[in-house]
Structure 1
Amino acid sequence: MDPITHGMVGLAIATISGEPILGAVSLGTTLGAMAPDLDIVMQSKGHYAYLKNHRGMSHSLPFLAGIAGIISTVIHFIFPATAFGQILLWTFMGTLSHTLLDILNSYGAQIFWPLSKKRFSGSLLLVYDPMVIILSLYLIFSKEPKTLLSMKVGLIFVIYLFIRIIMKNRIYDKIIDKFGKDIHIMRVNLLPSMIGMHKWHFIIDSQEKSIVGEINIFNNKLKILKELEKKEIPFMDEITNSAIGKFFQSFTPIYHIDIQKKNGYYYVTFTDLRYFIKDDFLHHATAILSGELELLEGLFHPYSLNQSVSVI
């Protein structure tokens, strides 16, 4: 989610504490809720460095605890009348809210780094989710008793997530019914649309091809965006175990591999199937191998095929 939404959620959490809306606790929760996105500093080293590290270490439990401690120390110096432990507790809740919300959308986060580099993702919320914003504003501005209000908002949010889960299950069944008779489906991934609560993107992984599309839950219209045929790749292990192959697998769990042979060289294209914008996928990578399968070059294409960053 975007920093503004995270900051708004942090401020909403502060209202539950019973402390003044403008004070040490609210400052801590707001800054804490925005702090994990400090990994944006990696952008100074380029798109590759940023995307490789985004939602990694900075979204892990050790980092959340550490940054909460730093923020709380500074705030306690400014507001010495507020107990340090109180500031620390609520600031950590702010930092934790950031990672938990990011886990609920399709990009996910490495919450258990360094023990695990797995990126956990629930694929339920939009990047800019209107319900999260509405509930946060409700918490901030409502005059209702905060204990009752927080329980009400929490219940509404749980119901909202439950409805989103039901949506996913219904769409999954619809996709199986429509495509299951014609192709051998191995896996279906459902992701929230980037532009609307009423749309979901689906990625079908079958033996024959990958199908990427979207479905409108209001009218049940299903639209196929791309069909990518799978090719026989006899040296798949060499490709996936290469530097660029390992990077792309850590970058996205949902990808397609294509291969072409030109002038004695193999050109292998990796495509991240999660984000389809303006008639193309957002992220790609290219591996160039010699006829003897020696990796000559590995390129990452962030945001556009026109941008290339060397990985090896």
Structure 2
Amino acid sequence: MDSLTQIVLGAAVGEAVLGNKIGNKAMLYGAIAGTIPDLDVFASHFTDTVSALEIHRGFTHSILFSIVFAPIFGWLITTYEKYKDFKDWSWLFFWAFITHPILDAHTTWGTQLFWPLDIRLAFKNIFVIDPLYTLPFLVFLLLAMRQKRSSKKRSSYNRMGLLVSSGYLLLSLVLKWIAFNQFKDALERQNIAYLELDTRPSAMNTVLWSANVETKDSYLLGNYSFFDSQPIRFETYPKNHHLLEKLIEDTSVQRMIAISEGWYSIQKNDNNLYFNDLRFGLLSLEPNSQNFVFKYKITIKDSNKVMFTEVPKDNNDGKKLLSDLWTRLKGN
């Protein structure tokens, strides 16, 4: 999830663990702890694109990280804070660390919660930014912050924030199941034979859902809103995996395919090859758009090493997409 959401979650967890003993400092340290796992994004400044993608939401989002680093941070805090209970501080950091990747596991990218095992959890039932999850949670946190640490209202507000946000998360799983069945029924009605069906919510809501459908030679992309009155339409995108030719044997290419979980297409434009990660869809609702959210240019260095460079996104595309999504959300 986005940084604000993880700050709010970390602060609420910190309050739940230690708020009655140290007041707002529990929220402060919980908020800090809630952002620490995402420091892995800085790996992109020190390594290549493929390695950075592998590192993201890896070790720092694992149970192992939470177990190892919670007591280290707990000990560090006791060296200068007046409250010296090492066990309490360690529990605060542990729960703030572990709830971060558990929440991230519900997004499209997912997390390697069981690192070093090569298992990525990605339930894909909530977008990385969702105001309906974050804003009510934030309101309850601010209400709790205004109360005295011994006040019953303080713990009650914080508990309500955790319950409401968790309830919405559970609701999104139900909505995903309904949307999945709508896509499945549409494919059956249109007599489309497919190998795999994958669904996810569109940006900042759980009303409009997107689907990736794998067929033998192509991928089908479609959208469904709970307000739709017309049948679901699917756009076809050829896999074009054959365009990789011998590059398919390259280690970096194999790693990128693994990162994309096999949901990728190859695009050739002006003699350049592009790797499209289909898991995150398009930056446009226009028919037959090739403007994928994550597109990587493939280049070959003198040493015959394959390199991937992310194609920069245009902010105007993002703004237009949000406007188009709002229109599409209201039904076709």
Bin of the TM-score, shorter chain as denominator length:
0.7 to 0.9
TM-score (ref. length: structure 2)? 0.75
Do structure 1's residue 71 and structure 2's residue 73 form an aligned pair?
yes
1:154 to 1:11, Cα distance in 2 relative to 1, 3 A: closer
Q: Deviations over 1:75-107 (max 9, x none)?
A: 111214331110110111011111111111111
Q: CA deviation at 1:55?
A: 0.6
Residue in 1 that maps onto 2:164: 156
Q: Which runs of 5+ in 1 are unaligned?
A: 290-294, 307-312
TM-score (ref. length: structure 1)? 0.80
Q: Distance in 1 between matches of 2:170 and 2:35?
A: 26
Q: CA deviation at 1:57?
A: 1.3
- Bigger drift between 242-251 and 92-101 goes to 242-251
Correspondences of 1:9-88 after superposition (within 5 Å) = 9-17=9-17, 18-23=20-25, 25-45=26-46, 48=49, 49-88=51-90
Q: CA deviation at 1:111?
A: 1.1
Q: Distance in 2 between matches of 1:259 and 1:14?
A: 47
Q: Distance in 1 between matches of 2:234 and 2:46?
A: 33
Which of 129, 136, 139 pairs up with 1:137?
139
The aligned amino acid for 2:35 is: M
Q: Which runs of 5+ in 2 are unaligned?
A: 315-332
1:232 to 1:128, Cα distance in 2 relative to 1, 3 A: closer
Q: Distance in 2 between matches of 1:91 and 1:232?
A: 45
Q: CA deviation at 1:187?
A: 1.1
**Tell me, what secondary structure is at the counterpart of 2:205?**
coil
Residue in 2 that maps onto 1:249: 257
Q: Deviations over 1:162-190 (max 9, x none)?
A: 32122222222221222233321111111
1:101 to 1:305, Cα distance in 2 relative to 1, 3 A: closer
Asked if the contact 1:244/1:287 (under 8 Å) is kept, the reply is no
Asked if the contact 2:125/2:173 (under 8 Å) is kept, the reply is yes
1:137 to 1:120, Cα distance in 2 relative to 1, 3 A: same
Asked if the contact 1:288/1:298 (under 8 Å) is kept, the reply is yes
Q: Deviations over 1:58-79 (max 9, x none)?
A: 1112222333233222211121
**Tell me, what secondary structure is at the counterpart of 1:183?**
coil
Identity percentage over the alignment?
Answer: 18
Correspondences of 1:169-248 after superposition (within 5 Å) = 169-180=177-188, 181-219=190-228, 226-230=235-239, 233=242, 240-248=248-256
Asked if the contact 1:15/1:139 (under 8 Å) is kept, the reply is no
Residue in 1 that maps onto 2:321: none
Residue in 2 that maps onto 1:89: 91
The aligned amino acid for 1:41 is: F
Q: CA deviation at 1:235?
A: 9.4
The aligned amino acid for 1:215 is: Y
The aligned amino acid for 2:39 is: L
Asked if the contact 1:105/1:192 (under 8 Å) is kept, the reply is no
Asked if the contact 1:286/1:300 (under 8 Å) is kept, the reply is yes
Residue in 1 that maps onto 2:111: 109
1:3 to 1:151, Cα distance in 2 relative to 1, 3 A: closer
- Bigger drift between 53-62 and 139-148 goes to 139-148
Asked if the contact 2:107/2:122 (under 8 Å) is kept, the reply is yes
**Tell me, what secondary structure is at the counterpart of 1:271?**
strand
RMSD: 3.3
Number of equivalences = 295
Q: CA deviation at 1:198?
A: 2.2
Q: Distance in 2 between matches of 1:197 and 1:259?
A: 30
**Tell me, what secondary structure is at the counterpart of 1:15?**
helix
